[in-house]
Chain A
Amino acid sequence: MSADAGHFIRSWVITCALIAAIIAAAAAAVDPYLLFNMPRVKGFNDKKPSVETQERLMKAYEVIRAAPNGLILGTSRVALGLDTAHASWPARARPVYNLGVAGADPLTSYRYLQHVLAHRDLTVVVLGLDFEYFLVGKKRDLSAPLAFESYLTVDRDGRPDPNRRWYHLRDLAEATLSLEALGDSIATVAASARGETLDMSPSGNLSEAGFRRETEELGSAPLFAQRNLYNMRTYRGRTFAQNSAGQADAPALADLRAIVELCRARGIQLELFAQPMHADLLETLDLLGAWPAYESWKRELVEIGRSDARGGGRTVRVWDFGGYDQFSTEGLPAGADRRVHLRWFWEPSHYSKALGNIVLTRIFGGPDTSYGVVLTAETIEPRLAAIRERRKAYRESHPDDVSRMRAIYDSASR
């Protein structure tokens, strides 16, 4: 029995080593998290569905390899909607990398910008801004490092992170010898063989396949209903913070100012824009009583742009694409056909690439189509008044949509 036990121990040790080695090698070859710069082989590992859970890790590594001159920052809305390959990008901005990541507040965008600038200079940054991320909800400690910051080269003061070498080893280990990496490697191969799937392009663009799949599973109208309910529950009770003097005082504003200052200091053209929202989301904000705050927020953006100009830089423009217009008031499909989806929006906050292209065209010198306004001290109030007017007109012409949103608000309040 002792000899059997000895044989068991030897076999166990060898098998453990073999299994671990095979898994690590396979994960490195498939490279689901883009850490090993493995070539994307069509049908094997060309799709990267792990972007759904590991986007912050993947983009932190990939953006350095991509060596961009132009950068897109913001949330998943820009990751999905703005195309790095669109023709309107000026030559000096190319290549462009889409560093929008899901749930990125301005602090996250600032940290990723620092990360890129630690490696190279940039000429153009386009930053999509979401009003919701400037609302203050639950208190959270922002002084402690956030999990994703260990992927970045520099600390918040812009100094090289002394622990980065260890973190890099950790990243490599977790990308090869973890259950998640194993599962994600299998998912990567399966998705690559399947073809149409959530994916991240080598320049950081998110494919629309994820939303297309969701839409086909639920249908457009139910997907909107689900997200509207979620938004109402999530943003209920959140406020646009003010200090004792009544001035806006959200931490996210300070982070935005830091981005502006960093871009000015590095001579980077910065295009800020308030993102397009579907009318459902605008109605949500109003039902939650956040409309005045939404307008105050836009005024604050103007102030931030002006302070940059006063500082000697004229590198910042603030755009507003948020309002009731021909795109945001697109109606929901009435039929039960799940394959029918909206042209401009996947759900209330995520706009399509088609609309993203129009935004980019407008920002980089396209014709003035009355869509998108540069906010300045002169244009802000007329712009806000115009939106209010269009809102009134929308409500008169879309009574069913208004009552639909009211019903969702009532159910969220129960």
Chain B
Amino acid sequence: MLFNSYQFIFLFLPIVVLGYFVLGRLGRTAAVVWLVLASLAFYAVSRVDSLAIILPSIVLDYAIGQALERLDESRSRMRATLLGIGIVANIAFLGYFKYWNFFLDTANLVFGTHIAFCSLILPLGISFITFQKIAYLMDVYSGQVKGVGFLNFLLFTLFFPRVVAGPIVHYQEVMPQFDRSTIRWVPTDIAVAICLFSMGLFKKVVIADRVGDFANPVFAAPLTGEPVTLLAGWIGALAYTFQIYFDFSGYSDMAIGIARIFGVVLPMNFNSPLKATSIVEFWSRWHITLTRFLTAYVYTPLVLNLTRRRMAQGKPVLRGRNTRMSAILALIGVPTLVTMAISGFWHGVGFQFIVWGLLHGVMLTINQGWRTLRPRFWRHQKSHDLIMTPVGFGLTFVGVIVTFVFFRASSVSAALSVLRGMAGLNGVTIPYAIGSRLGGLGAWLERVGVTYDWSSGSQLVAAGAWLAVLLVIVLAMPNSLELLAPYRPALDFQGPAEASDGRSLWDRLRFIDIVQSRLGPALVATLAVAGVLGLHHASGFLYWQF
């Protein structure tokens, strides 16, 4: 069941909310049981066989967690073994259901075998649920989580607002929020929830689904052998960047908003990533809870391990601006590439996702290496910031768009085909309907090698208008969390710092309180109604496929 569906908005959600607050009068347990049942129903409606697969794995993780809790700290080897079993079991579970056929396909390709594919069900949200459970086991292992009941564990794992695509949370940051003596309707929570859900619905239904129409034909072209030309390639790549941006941002807003109805504040997952002035900053703004997970459980342990090894071997390690290149490659490059390759492969089945991850790994390594070494040869911070902030923004923006081509394309070769077009290797064409009206400019364009094609001129104008407006929104407008900053819309979210008295129009916009502003209800209602009006063409969230 999609958040952006009539069934969810007008049937499922109202029943669950009503049941929660009515049963909440009987006590916390009744309300939690109700939420668990609702979450099971939400998951089962999507695919009941998914539930049959995922539930045993949840029970297994709970059992391992219980055993870890009971084992004395002194039996560290046993505890570590148990944790290892839990992690391996989770990865094997994910590997089997999500990647088994990919492995078979790759084996067939490499060894020339003809092993038949298995008919496997891909449980909904398996990638997110797996990471969620691994985070739980790690937290129990480190002693941060204790005394978890099975009911709470079920709710933690399957809580319907975030079961399919996150945010990926830690047990202790969410579950204590359910430990309230009274369950009551808090108008502020509801108002914040309405704002987030309305904005999210609008982003998904009105923006993401529609701008995606400009990207689809470009990425379909390599499949039919149609060459992608320069302008079409860039429009397709930019349109897809905006599609996935608004799709995932919209989903995150809706997930955080729905949880807020029940008084639960989820962690921030998305914070205007395209405003980033470096790729490191981009990853601290895009899919924040995944970055947090991979940093904590993959990147940092790898860096520590490699650092210890190098120290033991007497090799140089990271030492600020005096760091050697070999240390940068070994202690920044290797862990970053490994982490991002895992991130890419986690996102989707296919080499194109690994390439996407590796490219981001390379960009992150360069960025981190630059940060480490830059003070050695560019000491003046102000001049550096003055020049490198816009340069960094431009490089990051283009890098993100270009690498998203791999994320969207159906294969590495299809991605390369689009990139070839974006590089101008398939020529530069514009619609005849436009080119033939450009007069002198048209003649000049022809002289420099631009040719005409029969694509629709009005479609190109529409794409240009859409992309220009969305560019302004993603780069200049305050985001949904900033608009709700006074109400703590998400965990870990720091609102913009208060500005001085002499506020510009722009500052006033940034500090607008959408709940208290006079036009707030009308603005949010317009977004909500527009979102609902677009529901009959609803499509799934891009991140739900992962």
A binds B: yes
Q: A12-B524, A12-B525, A16-B528 are in contact. Are A222 and B191 (CB under 8 A)?
A: no
* Bound complex: CA A85 to CA B373 (Å): 82
* Bound complex: CA A217 to CA B530 (Å): 33
Minimum CB–CB distance from B456 to chain A (whole Å) comes to 10
A174 lies within 8 A of chain B by Cβ: yes
Minimum CB–CB distance from B191 to chain A (whole Å) comes to 4
> B191 and A9: CB pair below 8 A?
yes
A5 lies within 8 A of chain B by Cβ: yes
What 1/0 flags go to B187-230 for Cβ under 8 Å of A?
A: 11011001000000000001000000000000000000000000
> B533 and A218: CB pair below 8 A?
no
* Bound complex: CA A222 to CA B534 (Å): 37
> B191 and A19: CB pair below 8 A?
no
B466 lies within 8 A of chain A by Cβ: no
B539 lies within 8 A of chain A by Cβ: no
Binds B, one of A160-168, A223-231, A354-362: A223-231
* Bound complex: CA A74 to CA B297 (Å): 64
> B536 and A8: CB pair below 8 A?
no
* Bound complex: CA A219 to CA B530 (Å): 38
Main secondary structure of the interface of B (DSSP, over half): helix
A20 lies within 8 A of chain B by Cβ: yes
Contact partner of B457 (CB less than 8 A), chosen from A1, A5, A19, A217, is A217
Q: A5-B190, A9-B187 are in contact. Are A217 and B525 (CB under 8 A)?
A: no
Binds A, one of B96-104, B128-136, B145-153, B514-522: B514-522
Minimum CB–CB distance from B437 to chain A (whole Å) comes to 9
Minimum CB–CB distance from A299 to chain B (whole Å) comes to 34
Q: A16-B525, A16-B529 are in contact. Are A9 and B194 (CB under 8 A)?
A: yes
Contact partner of B188 (CB less than 8 A), chosen from A2, A12, A180, is A2
* Bound complex: CA A1 to CA B187 (Å): 9
> B191 and A5: CB pair below 8 A?
yes
B536 surroundings in chain A (CB, below 8 A): 173-174, 178
B432 lies within 8 A of chain A by Cβ: yes
Q: A12-B194, A217-B433, A226-B454 are in contact. Are A5 and B188 (CB under 8 A)?
A: yes
A15 lies within 8 A of chain B by Cβ: yes
Contact partner of B432 (CB less than 8 A), chosen from A9, A180, A222, is A222
Minimum CB–CB distance from A341 to chain B (whole Å) comes to 16
> B190 and A15: CB pair below 8 A?
no
Minimum CB–CB distance from A143 to chain B (whole Å) comes to 23
A182 lies within 8 A of chain B by Cβ: yes
A6 lies within 8 A of chain B by Cβ: yes
* Bound complex: CA A217 to CA B456 (Å): 11
Q: A174-B536, A179-B533, A226-B454 are in contact. Are A5 and B522 (CB under 8 A)?
A: no
B144 lies within 8 A of chain A by Cβ: no
Q: A8-B515, A16-B528 are in contact. Are A218 and B522 (CB under 8 A)?
A: no
A23 lies within 8 A of chain B by Cβ: yes
Q: A15-B521, A15-B522, A19-B529 are in contact. Are A1 and B188 (CB under 8 A)?
A: yes
Name the residue on A nearest B431 (C-beta). A218
A4 lies within 8 A of chain B by Cβ: yes
Minimum CB–CB distance from B217 to chain A (whole Å) comes to 14
> B432 and A218: CB pair below 8 A?
yes
B534 surroundings in chain A (CB, below 8 A): 178-179
* Bound complex: CA A229 to CA B226 (Å): 14
* Bound complex: CA A201 to CA B530 (Å): 31
> A19 and B526: CB pair below 8 A?
yes
B436 lies within 8 A of chain A by Cβ: yes
Interface residues in A1-40 by Cβ distance below 8 A to B read 1-6, 8-9, 11-12, 15-16, 19-20, 23
A178 surroundings in chain B (CB, below 8 A): 533-534, 536
Q: A179-B206, A179-B533, A225-B454 are in contact. Are A6 and B525 (CB under 8 A)?
A: no
What 1/0 flags go to B40-66 for Cβ under 8 Å of A?
A: 000000000000000000000000000
Enumerate 7 A-B pairs (CB-CB under 8 Å) in ascending A order.
A1-B188, A2-B186, A3-B187, A8-B516, A15-B525, A19-B529, A182-B533
